[in-house]
Amino acid sequence: MTQSRRRFLQQSTATLAALTLTPSHLFAATETLITTPSGKLRGETVDSIRIFRGIPFAQPPIGPLRFRPPVPVKLWQGVHNATTFAAAAPQPDDPGVTHSEDCLYLNVWAPTGPGPFPVFVWIHGGGYTGGRSFAPIFDGSEFARDGIVLVSVAYRLGVFGFLDLEPLLGPTYADSANNAMRDLTLSLEWVHHNIAAFGGDPTRVTVGGESAGAKATAALMAIPAAASLFHSAISESGGGERINTLAQAAAVAHQYGKLWRTAHPSTTFHDLLTAAPADLLHAQTALIATSDRHFPFRSEVGSSFLPQRPVDLVAAGSFQHKRLLIGTNRDESALFIGPHPAADPTSSDLGNLDLNTFQQVFAKYKSLYPDMTAEQRRIRAVSAEEYWVPSVRMAEAQTQAHGPTWMYRLDYTKPTGPQAGEAYHSLDLSFIWQKPDPIESADPTAAPLARQMHQAWVNFIQGNDPAAPTLPPWPQYSLQTRPTMIFAAQPHIENNPHQAELELWQTAL
């Protein structure tokens, strides 16, 4: 069973919400009060885990702050109630959830005790247009039980955080396509100044994410303003390629403006500043549906905030001597690419290349993998273009800059269900967050693998090499042998995995 990428992204939040939840409701909650440099907080302690939800790290980006860089939160008076999650960022197709432009909040799960504990800041995925920091799978209790302060952060999505409005509204809105990355940078500043109040160690902060969250992590590795705010990074199904040039960002803005004026002929672009969020999202959906680019809403390069592509800045030393754990799932695109017409994939399925360049590489896949079906070759090639090769490039860049790097690939496949036999995009989340779905719970090979992956992540966040009982030794990545941990029923190391395939992409990406 396959679906379009766009449809998957629309459904991703609901998919995550359906996964097995930590049964925290079975435990009594007791009130917990702490004092941070930003003010006093009221949270809860549940099963020995301190939980604080909906903590503001920025002033609401509404009214005159719409489309503007985030402004640090003001110190609050009294006690801020942090027992309920804040609203999610505005997005289409996320029923049953409250949404608001006032969305710049974070959540904390912390062990009891004084610490100092290492900190893991999590960035959710969703194609830059969907997702939320408090999806049930991102309950941080399991990490907190392992002695880690887990922080999940929100950021503006789509038109609100990833659209360069300078072509429509003038130079005072220059670089507004990076406002979401500024949100994340400001959240890290808040963590740096406040996390000790939760028992966290501001000198041991790891930033990580999956999919768009992993790509945002790559950008943060390159952004000068974030350089001193974290010390390790985890990239799950990401890489550092997907960034708009200024010209590409301007083209997206002009396309958005054209669609806006078509739907609202009596308005001016200045009306974007006061328009209803639903109207802005309507034009966003129309742009995505008609764009020949996959994920037109992206960060942009060319300003002092993000001068070049993340992979280039990392290679030049922006994350020098810091640590990186990075990897992908073997069949990432299996959810999106299947037995479609011969024209599939189209340009709107590709994350980094134009269709002609991709087809030149893809034409060689048949001779490289003659025993694969056409569907399998499509899945493999699109997975490489979007996830695997960009992740390899980022691992190479960080290794070149003398940063300790470890690479993995998830090969586990479910024995039953619509994606049986495929290690598809997002499959890793239930393993790392210890939230198995019913199929995984019934599979005797899944639980040991999940424990290994989770423990390897925990050890990495704690400042050690990624390791776990019964997991074979995991060497650091090198440009000579490219050792990669293969997470499967029998985890093992492969050196130079699929070297011939990687060479096909040598000049394309």
Residues carrying an active site annotation: 211, 332, 425
CA–CA separation, 419 and 394 (whole Å): 28
CA–CA separation, 266 and 281 (whole Å): 18
- Report phi then psi at 209, rounded to 5: -170, 175
**Strand pairing of 39-46 and 29-36?**
antiparallel
- Burial (CB < 10 A; 0-12, 13-18, 19+), residue 243, is buried
Residue written as tokens 């005797």? 444
CB 312 within 8 A of CB 364: no
CB 145 within 8 A of CB 49: yes
- Identify the bridge partners of residue 117 per DSSP, sorted by sequence position: 200
CB 137 within 8 A of CB 241: no
CB 410 within 8 A of CB 428: yes
Residue written as tokens 């887990």? 150
CA-based angle 487:120:400, to the nearest 5?
65
CB 198 within 8 A of CB 108: yes
Short-list 22, 7, 233, CA closest to 137? 22
| Element containing residue 492 per DSSP (H, E) | strand 492-494
Cα distances from 435 to residues 212, 397, 487, in angstroms, run 20, 32, 17
Neighbours of 352 (CB within 10 A): 17
CA–CA separation, 102 and 87 (whole Å): 7
DSSP 101-112: S---EEEEEEES
| Element containing residue 257 per DSSP (H, E) | helix 246-263
Task: Evaluate the omega torsion of the peptide bond into residue 118 and state whether it is cis, within 30 degrees of 0.
Answer: no
- Identify the bridge partners of residue 325 per DSSP, sorted by sequence position: 234, 406
DSSP 22-36: P-GGGS-EEEEEEEE
| Element containing residue 323 per DSSP (H, E) | strand 323-329
CB 308 within 8 A of CB 224: no
CA–CA separation, 441 and 422 (whole Å): 17
- Position 418: which residue type? P
Short-list 462, 394, 393, CA closest to 117? 462
